[in-house]
Structure formats: C-alpha cells, structure tokens
C-alpha cells in the first residue's frame, strides 16, 4: 500500500509539476463546509497541498469538490450522511448512490473510502443506529457489484464517547449498551479489511478539567508523562493515550489487530470566555506539534510500529456551525485562504519534499473542533464529549494518588 502510494504520488508529481511531500507520512485534513464564505474548491487545492496533506475527508460527496480535485492525486474519504442510512438498506438505492456519488468521479478523483454515517452510535438513537451496519453492508455489496470494492473501502467514524472508560488507556472499554452493535461493525471491518475510525479531541478533556490536566500533556509539549499502572507504558501526550484506550477497547472484544485511523482531531484557535484553552497559541502548538509527529511516523506506546493515519480537523473556520464560538474556529485556514496561524515549521513544504522526514510547511495548521454540523448528516455534534472528556482528570487524579502512595 505504502509503496503504491509513493509510486503514484511520484508519478503525479512528475506529471503535474506540483511539489508536495510524498515521503511524509500521510497527513489528512477534514474539509468541512458549514459556512457561506469559503473559497471555491479549485482554490482549495493549493491550500491542501500547502500543508502537505495527501488525504482529504469530506462529510458529503460535494460534486464541486470532487471535480476540483480530479487528477491531483489527493485521496478522498467521502461521507454518506446519517439521513441517508435508512434508505441504504435497499440494495438498489445503495447501488444507485454509489454510482452517482462515487463511481462517477473515479478514477480521476481518488475516492478510497466511504464513511457511512458520522458518529452515529453516540446520538443514542436506535432507530438511526439500527440502520448503520445494514447500510455499510449494502454499500459494500454495491461496490462489489460494480467491481470497485478493491479500491474503495467502507467504514464509519465514531466519537470517542463510544468508550465508557479510557483511563488509564489499559482500561479502555466500549459503552456496554453499544457493544453488540460495535461487535457487528468490527466483524464487518475484519471481513472487508477496513479500519476503525475514531474522532478524538484532547481539547475537550482539557476544557472540562483545566486545573487537573497539564496543558503540555495535551499540546504535545515536552513533559514527563504519565505511566499506565497496568501496562507500565509511559504516555507523554493525551492523544496517544486516547488512541491506545481505543486499541484496548477493541482488544477486549477480541479485535486486537484491527487498524485504527483518527478521523478527526484538532484544536480551536478561539472560544467563548468559558472555553478554557481555546486560544491561537494553543491551536498553533497542538496542530503544529501534531503535524510534526505525523511526519515522524511515530506510533503510540502500545503500537509503536503502526503508522497513524490522522485527519486534522479542519481545513477552514466554518462560520455557520452552531454551538459555542470554538466550533467555528477549528480551521487551519480562514475563509479567505490565509492561514489562521502559522504552524511554526521552519521549512517550506512546497520547497523541498524529497527526504523524508518532515513536515515542513510554513503554512498554517489545522485546528479542529468537533464535527460541525448539519444535524442532518451527522456532521454536527461536538460529540466527543461524553466518554472521553472526563477521562483525563480522573486519570490524573488516580495517577497522582498512586504516585503519592508509591
């Protein structure tokens, strides 16, 4: 897979004359569009490339975007909205959907995955979640029928709130009431070879307990870290702790080797007065450090050799997202296409791409937030709150107590 990507990317670079960092571990970015002031998709192509992103996640199948990115080599995860799940039970409708919204853009636009629904399980609406696995299956069957299943995979993105425990990471477990449905989803992933997608926001954990959670730990700044008392693994950042909690939760259901991708993570550059931590400086640190870390291809303490596929949230500040101010300020870019802040890299991504390491952009980083949203397609909720949020403070208190007694 990796080598294929390298080959095709080099070819693309050769053909198009674009320089972008082909050797860098794949940086992904979420392209949310709940706004009325965003640049046209043609003008977004260079922005995506300027941050070294080779993957984009869309919450829909916006034809303007999919056309604008034709022949760019950028890989797409497209979204099938929550409002479509019920009708996808009908195989004919699923096939029609795939033809119109996916097949029509292939192969020029590299759609590699369909995210069926967004954070479906944490809406706590069984009439919605009962449709999830059948919809995923119908879409996959449609892809098989159209002979596209080898190039387009099927998955769905979850909020971290599907976990009922995430601290310490070794205690990671799915919410009891969701385990049945999640097991079906995991079986599906194993059967077709697709990854488990999770949206993870250390920002929420910090916001809910700023006094207990060390800011350096959430922003990937140097710190002494925390040792998981069960696994003895040392964590120096919260995102990795959250990801490992998901690995442990998967293992507890018997899916130890299922790959995970981080379908959203980020940090808002602005928030309301009561939104502690939502500042330009913090967003710059979180996203700048995150991109550097992705470039170093670091795995988590539990899976040090597994490449992380991370999609930063989000490309743009989105002025029409509901909720607190932070929701509208996760963007790496302002609507006029200028960086929301500098990512703090010294190099310039456009200048040199050959060697491997790093994320080099001078451009701005993405900041993220929770999913913006049109409630209709599920790209909305700040969902992440529930399970994951309180984890940090509790865990820290536990660790401090543990230390005190050692």
Ligand X SMILES: *[C@@H]1O[C@H](CO)[C@@H](O)[C@H](O)[C@H]1NC(C)=O
Which residues does the annotation mark as catalytic?
Answer: 119, 264
Residue 375 as a binder of ligand X (CB under 6 A): the answer is: no
Query: Vertex 220, ends 219 and 221: CA angle to 5°?
Result: 90
The binding track of 173-212 with respect to ligand X, each residue x by CB under 6 A or -, is --x-------------------------------------
The H or E element that residue 265 is part of is strand 260-265
Query: Which is closer to ligand X, CB of 287 or CB of 393?
Result: 393
Quick note: the x/- pattern for ligand X over 147-176, rule CB under 6 A, is ----------------------------x-
- Stretch touching ligand X by CB under 6 A, among 10-18, 241-249, 266-274, 350-358: 350-358
How many C-beta atoms lie closer than 10 Å to residue 63's C-beta?
13
Taking the complex as a whole, the smallest distance from the CB of residue 124 to ligand X amounts, in Å, to 4
351 binds ligand X (CB under 6 A): yes
| Coil, helix or strand at residue 396 | helix
The stretch near ligand X (CB under 6 A) out of 2-10, 68-76, 195-203, 351-359 is 351-359
> How far is it, in rounded angstroms, from Cα 106 to Cα 146?
12
- Considering only 40, 71, 352, 375, the residue that binds ligand X (CB under 6 A) is 352
CA distances from 296 to 26, 148, 206, 315, 358 (A): 11, 33, 25, 21, 6
Q: Is 126 in the site for ligand X (CB under 6 A)?
A: no
Q: How far is the CB of 128 from ligand X (least distance, A)?
A: 12
Least distance in angstroms from the C-beta of 127 to ligand X = 14
DSSP 245: H
Does position 127 interact with ligand X (CB under 6 A)? The reply is no
Among 27, 142, 246, 386, binds ligand X (CB under 6 A): 386
What are the structure tokens assigned to 275, written together?
Answer: 């939104």
Say which residue the tokens 């369909």 belong to: 114
**Whole-angstrom distance, CA of residue 57 vs CA of residue 88:** 21
Q: What is the CA radius of gyration of the chain?
A: 20
Q: Which is nearer to ligand X, 123 or 247 (CB)?
A: 123
Which of residues 21 and 202 has its CB atom nearest to ligand X in the complex? 21
Nearest residue (CB) to ligand X, 315 versus 389: 389
Of 322, 334, 331, the closest CA to residue 368 belongs to 331
String of DSSP letters for 32-80: ----SSPPPHHHHHHHHHHTTEEEEEESS--HHHHHHTTTS--EEEEEE
What sections of 265-336 are H helices per DSSP?
280-295
Would you count residue 124 as binding ligand X (CB under 6 A)? Answer: yes
Tell me the number of residues near ligand X by CB under 6 A.
7
Residue 354 binds ligand X (CB under 6 A): yes
Q: Rule CB under 6 A: which residues touch ligand X? A: 122, 124, 175, 351-352, 354, 386
């Amino acid at each position: 897979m990796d080598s294929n990507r390298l080959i095709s990317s080099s070819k693309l670079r050769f053909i198009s004359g674009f320089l972008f960092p082909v050797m860098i571990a794949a940086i992904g970015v979420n392209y949310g569009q709940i706004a009325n002031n965003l640049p046209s998709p043609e003008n977004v192509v260079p922005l995506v490339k300027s941050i070294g992103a080779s993957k984009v996640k869309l919450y829909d199948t916006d034809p303007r975007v999919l056309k604008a990115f034709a022949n760019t080599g950028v890989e797409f995860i497209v979204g099938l909205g929550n409002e479509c799940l019920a009708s996808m039970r009908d195989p004919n409708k699923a096939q029609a959907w795939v033809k119109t919204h996916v097949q029509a853009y292939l192969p020029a636009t590299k759609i590699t995955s369909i995210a069926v629904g967004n954070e479906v399980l944490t809406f706590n609406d069984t009439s919605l979640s009962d449709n999830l696995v059948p919809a995923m299956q119908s879409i996959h069957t449609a892809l098989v029928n159209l002979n596209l299943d080898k190039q387009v995979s099927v998955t769905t993105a979850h909020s971290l709130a599907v976990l009922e425990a995430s601290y310490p990471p070794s205690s990671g477990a799915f919410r009891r009431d969701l385990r049945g449905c999640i097991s079906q989803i995991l079986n599906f992933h194993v059967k077709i070879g697709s990854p488990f997608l999770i949206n993870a926001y250390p920002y929420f954990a910090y916001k809910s307990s700023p006094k207990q959670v060390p800011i350096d730990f959430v922003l990937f700044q140097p710190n002494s870290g925390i040792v998981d008392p069960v696994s003895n693994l040392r964590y120096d950042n919260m995102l990795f702790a959250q990801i490992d909690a998901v690995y442990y939760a998967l293992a507890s259901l018997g899916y130890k080797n299922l790959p995970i991708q981080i379908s959203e993570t980020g940090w808002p550059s602005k928030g309301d007065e009561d939104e502690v931590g939502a500042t330009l400086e913090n967003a710059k640190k979180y996203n700048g450090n995150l991109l550097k870390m992705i470039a170093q291809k670091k795995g988590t303490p539990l899976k040090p050799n597994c490449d992380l596929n991370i999609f930063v949230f989000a490309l743009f500040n989105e002025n029409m997202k509901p909720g607190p101010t932070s929701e509208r300020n996760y963007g790496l870019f302002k609507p006029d296409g200028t960086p929301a802040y500098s990512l703090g890299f010294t190099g310039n991504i456009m200048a040199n791409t050959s060697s491997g390491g790093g994320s080099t952009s001078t451009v701005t980083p993405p900041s993220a937030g929770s999913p913006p949203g049109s409630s209709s397609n599920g790209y909305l909720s700040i969902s992440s709150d529930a399970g994951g949020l309180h984890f940090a403070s509790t865990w820290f208190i536990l660790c401090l107590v543990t230390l005190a007694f050692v």
